[in-house]
Amino acid sequence: MTLIDSLSTLSFTPFESRWISPSNIAFVKYWGKKGQQLPANPSLSMTLKECVTESKVSFLPSDNLEVSLFLEGSRQDSFAFKIKTYLQNLGFDRLKVHIATKNTFPHGAGIASSASGLSAFALCLTDYLYHLKGKTEDQEFMQSASHLARLASGSACRSVYGGFNVWGESKISHDLYTSQLSLIHSDFFHLQDTVLVIDEKEKDVSSTQGHAKMGEHFFAEARFIQARNNFDKCLRALASGDIESLGQVLESEALSLHAMMLTSPEAFTLLRPKTLTAIEMIWDFRRQGKLPLYFTLDAGPNLHLIYPESYKNKIYPFIQHELAPLAVNVIYDERGEGPIRC
Ligand code: PMV
């Protein structure tokens, strides 16, 4: 039984909820889905610390379903429409929802604002459903929030916990919601993620379109097998503190994700020439200095530079003097602790 199973029996009363929720970066990528927003392979992510969305949501009874959304004070009708469709699909009606939201990071920075924004909204919605059902926050609260976030955007379901999280059917994880990993080596407690923003432009092909293209992709089955292998390798690396194996997974996943785009029936790429220049410079840097600096990519041209905190002082000068000139912005982040109710 999920929180939304008996919606028609509830009488909506006024309520307000406010959450801060972080974005996450996938180490093992979710690319390709099945059924109702279920992943074709298990994915694994790190929750970020500084890149967060703060949302205040008010719920009021109404004659129909109405949604308004303000991002940093400016009205956003297209986002409001997406939330309205989402709520409609969940079975909500007769509800007026007002959302005031703000991000700590710029739009188009290669940091998933859908993950932070939609997880923040799902947390507020979970709060509301708990309130309507007379429940107090219990152990299942975050699981319910993850379930609701998943239905809004797959990767958002991984943002409800801090640290490292897994989603998608495997020996240790589920398709419906995210689970938090507990076996993490202390070297990774403050793992760094510096985002090199190469291009801030809106993506030409959305994630939704990208996932759909995996449906008829010649390499789909091979990709899903590779993701499962990388998932197991990533779990072992995180538990043992093996940064080299972790780095291999990070880069293999980033390059495979973009290879899938380049080899899909209607080929496309989100990479930019400067993305490739930066990748070659990182490989060179590693060869020369043997320092553990690795990259990953989301569905976009911007690089997430991943390295242990203990190497910060040695790696910073390379980022600041060599890589930063390729970027329009650089954002320093690291592993975070997860959402906060405020
Ligand atoms: O959650 P979506 O539909 O935005 O898809 C996310 C896809 C990737 O960011 C490329 C990979 C991932 O696992 O986050």
* Closest atom of ligand 1 to CA, residue 299: 10
Superfamily name and number for 187-334: GHMP kinase, C-terminal domain (3.30.70.890)
Look at residue 122 and give its three-state secondary structure: helix
Residue-wise burial string across 196-233, b where 16 or more C-beta atoms lie within 10 A, e elsewhere: bbbbbeebebebeebbebbeebeebeebbebbbebbbb
* CA dist., res. 29 & res. 224, Å (int): 10
Give 245-303 pLDDT, tens digit per residue.
999 999 999 999 999 999 999 999 999 999 999 999 999 999 998 899 999 999 999 99
Ligand 1 midpoint to CA 111 (Å): 11
* Closest atom of ligand 1 to CA, residue 28: 13
Indicate whether residue 214 lines ligand 1 (CB < 6 A).
no
Going by C-alpha positions, the residue among 210, 207, 227, 206 that lies closest to residue 264 is: 210
Topology annotation, domain 7-182: Ribosomal Protein S5; domain 2 (3.30.230)
Which of 27, 30, 46, when mutated, tests ligand 1's pocket best, judged by the most ligand atoms within 8 Å of its CB? 30
Neighbours of 11 (CB within 10 A): 7
pLDDT for 204: 83
Using 70 as the pLDDT threshold, list the residues of the chain that sit under it.
Answer: none
Look at residue 25 and give its three-state secondary structure: strand
pLDDT for 215: 94
Indicate whether residue 153 lines ligand 1 (CB < 6 A).
yes
pLDDT for 2: 83
pLDDT for 261: 97
* Closest atom of ligand 1 to CA, residue 29: 13
Sequence-distant (≥ 6) Cβ neighbours of residue 23 within 8 angstroms:
47, 48, 51, 52, 53, 105, 111, 112, 113, 115, 116, 159
Indicate whether residue 298 lines ligand 1 (CB < 6 A).
yes
Domain ranges of the chain: 7-182, 187-334
H-only helix segments in the chain: 77-90, 113-132, 141-152, 207-213, 220-240, 243-262, 273-289, 312-318
* CA dist., res. 206 & res. 299, Å (int): 8
* CA dist., res. 274 & res. 264, Å (int): 23
Indicate whether residue 111 lines ligand 1 (CB < 6 A).
no
* CA dist., res. 181 & res. 163, Å (int): 8
* CA dist., res. 121 & res. 335, Å (int): 21
Ligand 1 midpoint to CA 195 (Å): 16
Going by C-alpha positions, the residue among 219, 250, 271 that lies closest to residue 110 is: 271
pLDDT for 9: 87
Per the rule left: phi > 0, alpha: psi between -120 and 50, beta: everything else, 269 is beta
Indicate whether residue 161 lines ligand 1 (CB < 6 A).
no
